[in-house]
Amino acid sequence: MSLNRTLSLTAVALAALACTAPIVSAADLAPVSKAPEAESPLTPHSPWQIRARALGVVTRDSGKVDGIAGSGLSSSDSVTPELDFSYYFTDNIAAELILGTTSSRIDGKGSIAGLGNIGKTWILPPTLTLQYHFTDLGAFKPYVGAGINYTAFYNQSARGAATDLDVKNTFGAALQVGFDYMIDQHWGFNFDVKKLYLRPDFEATVGGARVKGSAKLDPWLIGTGVTYRF
């Protein structure tokens, strides 16, 4: 084979290699496609929830003074702001603690109605309930609950014919029913009704005589407000 032919074949081979080099390089540099990542599950709710409510306190208006036939007592109703905190052990089971305070005017009824206003006291009734929440109704989430209440009476003052008033702190049972209507993952509206069985004893000095008795308050706590789930 002549030298000129050898050089010609070599030049053709080099030209062919030069033409294919960009193709090989581009193929080598092409990004490797990745399989799409699976979507991560939604972050679970925090177990904590808080509500702010306007609370109406409607009492039973019953009671008596020991040793005075036909005596009765009347306690005024009120509206007060209230906060509650809930902790969810599961999606269905939660514990709720309510915190709020209000005042109540105490008047004589029945045979002692002539005494008029006997006094006034502030009431602090923290209530702890264990609740069952129904979770299969979409945004509408009703619940029922039962628990215990401890009511403290403070800043007590006697009025009118009474010169001293001492309403005793007491425990009582609590029943509850209500619902949340959630407008998104965190915010919702709430309506709640509780029945407290609250019957404190009291002592008072009326006309210089020391008297004792019991008040059957048994209030309804009717509240509405907003819910925030963390």
Q: Does residue 194 carry a pLDDT above 70?
A: yes
Which pLDDT score, from 0 to 100, does residue 207 have? 86
Q: Does residue 47 carry a pLDDT above 50?
A: yes
Could you identify the residue written with the tokens 């915010």?
A: 187
Examine residue 37 and state whether it is found in any structural domain, yes or no: no
Domain count, the chain: 1
Gap between the terminal Cα atoms of the chain: 88
Q: What is the pTM of this model?
A: 0.78
Which range of residues forms the domain containing residue 177?
48-72+79-229
120-166 pLDDT per residue, tens = 999 999 999 999 999 999 999 999 999 999 999 999 999 998 999 99
Examine residue 28 and state whether it is found in any structural domain, yes or no: no
CB of 192 closer than 8 Å to CB of 176? yes
- Other CB atoms closer than 10 Å to residue 121's CB: what's the count? 21
Beta bridge partners of 178: 143, 192
* Cα 166 from Cα 215, distance rounded (Å): 12
CB of 149 closer than 8 Å to CB of 173? yes
Examine residue 34 and state whether it is found in any structural domain, yes or no: no
Which 3 state secondary structure label does DSSP give 147? strand
Examine residue 12 and state whether it is found in any structural domain, yes or no: no
Examine residue 179 and state whether it is found in any structural domain, yes or no: yes
Examine residue 59 and state whether it is found in any structural domain, yes or no: yes
Which pLDDT score, from 0 to 100, does residue 20 have? 47
Examine residue 39 and state whether it is found in any structural domain, yes or no: no
CB of 204 closer than 8 Å to CB of 211? yes
Edge-to-edge strand ranges of the sheet holding 201-206: 62-65, 209-216, 201-206, 162-167
In CATH, what number is assigned to the domain containing residue 213?
A: 2.40.160.20
Q: Which residue has the higher pLDDT, 15 or 130?
A: 130
Examine residue 205 and state whether it is found in any structural domain, yes or no: yes
The band of 61, judged by pLDDT with boundaries at 50, 70 and 90, is confident
